[in-house]
Amino acid sequence: MLTFRGFRKYFGDNLILAIPELTVPAGIHWIKGQNGSGKTTLFRVLGGLIPYQGDILLNQSINLQAQPLLHRRHINLGEAAPLYPGFLTGTELVNLFSQAHKAPADQAATLIKYFNADYLHQPVRAYSSGMLKKLSLMLAFIGQPSLILLDEPLATLDTATVELVYNLMQEYNSKHQTSFLVTSHQDSQMTQLPLTATWLVQNQTLTQLSDS
């Protein structure tokens, strides 16, 4: 699914991540790593938020840096600390993401109902951290992406919502063959997912820990 070739990410002169050659197959992957190891940087790179050196290919055909439009059509990102302008409403954001991703007509409504997000008419400024996280997860599931990146999706969520997220991930994976890269520090909760592989970000690189 994802192929790294000579990937490097610097902040100034500091090397944050280097992945010389690596292929991540399709499926649901858990990315582990200590605080500051570079997980979020990796996700921001894959999400198209920050530039990098080298090549990353999606499904052997889409070069993420050279084809920014296809990149963004096929990869969605749910950020660890989502940030939206406080004066916007969740509904406005959902509409924007639906239009941008040309999502099926009823998808947004289905997701809102699924997550029981009846607060989206309110401005984002009034949301709790859990409500904001739910919104960012909904936005990440909009469209028909090949890969969804979920950075700390379980943080600040209640147990019932965690269950909903897991079920939705499995549904997207089985029905639409959507792959997932998920970071989480909640070890016990992550093992409930049908993981394809577990990866570790450490020593400025990404290595595979185990197969499922």
* Residue ranges in contact with another protein by CB under 8 A: 47-51, 65, 68-70, 72-73, 75-77, 79, 82-89, 92, 96-97, 100-101, 123, 125-126, 139
Q: Which residue has the tokens 């859990």?
A: 130
- CB closer to another protein, 20 vs 86: 86
Both structure tokens of 161: 């919502």
Question: Nearest distance from residue 32's CB to another protein, in Å?
Answer: 23
CA dihedral 40, 46, 48, 52 (to 10 degrees): 90
Question: Nearest distance from residue 94's CB to another protein, in Å?
Answer: 12
All residues at 6 or more sequence positions from 206 whose CB lies less than 8 Å from its CB, including other chains: 4, 17, 19, 22, 31, 42, 199, 200
What is the Cβ-side half-sphere exposure of residue 192, based on CA atoms within 13 angstroms?
Answer: 13
* 91 φ, ψ (degrees, to nearest 5): -60, -45
Task: Please state, in angstroms and rounded to a whole number, the distance separating the CA atoms of residues 68 and 51.
Answer: 11
What is the Cβ-side half-sphere exposure of residue 105, based on CA atoms within 13 angstroms?
Answer: 0
- CB closer to another protein, 84 vs 166: 84
- CB closer to another protein, 25 vs 86: 86
Helix (H) or strand (E) holding 135: helix 129-140
Question: Nearest distance from residue 159's CB to another protein, in Å?
Answer: 27
- CB closer to another protein, 6 vs 194: 6
Question: Nearest distance from residue 29's CB to another protein, in Å?
Answer: 19
- CB closer to another protein, 42 vs 190: 42
Question: Nearest distance from residue 96's CB to another protein, in Å?
Answer: 5
Both structure tokens of 57: 């290919």
- CB closer to another protein, 66 vs 209: 66
Question: Nearest distance from residue 209's CB to another protein, in Å?
Answer: 27
